[in-house]
Structure 1
Amino acid sequence: MPETVLIVEDEFFIAMDLQLMLEGYGWRVMGPVGTVKDALLLLETELPSVALLDVNLGRELVTPVAEYLKAHDVPFAVATAYDRPEQYGGEVLAGVPNAGKPTDERRLMAALMQLTGR
């Protein structure tokens, strides 16, 4: 059974690119979703193996999703251009892997491997 990854990204084309990349590596993608509300609704039905979060989702921050994931022991990475995402999204984002934005395949897979230990 493939590992699952929740993608929370509000930019449609970036979200689709991430989904295609990850599916190409055998991941099962939850979402992608572009809002905190949609992410939390998905998480009510299933917990992923890992999650990939954009810090800034338009007019909201991904912080509530990160806090939910942390409370449920789901590892997550961010995909952001911010060098210190915790300055924007709070302490819950301190020290998490950052796949960057824009991200490339190598950096994305390195972040996810860091989360899964593969």
Structure 2
Amino acid sequence: MTSPPQDAAPVKPRILVVEDEYFIAEEIADALAAAGYAVVGPCPSVRQAMAWVEGCDAAVLDASLRGESSLPVAEALAEQAKPFAVVTGFSASQLPPAMAAVPVLAKPLRARDLLKVLEELLPRN
């Protein structure tokens, strides 16, 4: 097995952003990009997010997308053993078990809290 050249750029983890509020989605995407992550999305619907689950390393999910639960996205991520955090105005006790069992961040979201959670969720290279 050959090691990559030492001057090769490290691969950025790809973070799927699932959020239906435009300004919140952009704020999350900007914070992730500034921290060195590659942003996938933002996706404002379950349908769009499901198309990107396989192409991400982790995700940040809003629990509710215009009245639609993002639970199918959470279940797909869990099936693929991909870590994720939930960003919501709900308390963890109001979420389905698949969402309450992961880190839950309250809105309004602080970027440093999100970045700390992602550092804990993603394996270090």
Instruction: Please give the TM-score of this superposition, normalised by the length of structure 2.
Output: 0.85
User: Would you tell me which structure has more helix in proportion to its own residues?
Assistant: 1
Q: Calculate the aligned-residue CA RMSD, in Å.
A: 1.4
Structure 1 consecutive aligned stretches of length 4 or more whose deviation exceeds 3 Å: none
Q: Which secondary structure does the structure 2 equivalent of 1:92 belong to?
A: helix
Distance 1:57 1:105 in 2: 20
For these two proteins, the number of residue pairs brought into alignment is 114
Q: Which has the larger radius of gyration?
A: 2
Q: Which runs of 5+ in 1 are unaligned?
A: none
Q: Could you tell me which residue of structure 2 aligns to residue 101 of structure 1?
A: 107
Distance 1:61 1:22 in 2: 23
Q: Could you tell me which residue of structure 2 aligns to residue 5 of structure 1?
A: 15
Distance 2:53 2:78 in 1: 12
Between the two proteins, what is the percent identity of the paired residues? 37
Instruction: Please give the TM-score of this superposition, normalised by the length of structure 1.
Output: 0.89
Q: Which secondary structure does the structure 1 equivalent of 2:36 belong to?
A: coil
1:94 Cα offset (Å): 2.2
Q: Could you tell me which residue of structure 2 aligns to residue 49 of structure 1?
A: 57
Q: Could you tell me which residue of structure 2 aligns to residue 58 of structure 1?
A: 66
Q: Could you tell me which residue of structure 1 aligns to residue 5 of structure 2?
A: none
Deviation sequence 1:59-98 (CA, Å, 0-9, x none): 20000000000001001001112221x533x211122112
Deviation sequence 1:6-61 (CA, Å, 0-9, x none): 000000010001101110011000000010000011225x2x11100000101200
Q: Counterpart amino acid of 2:47?
A: K
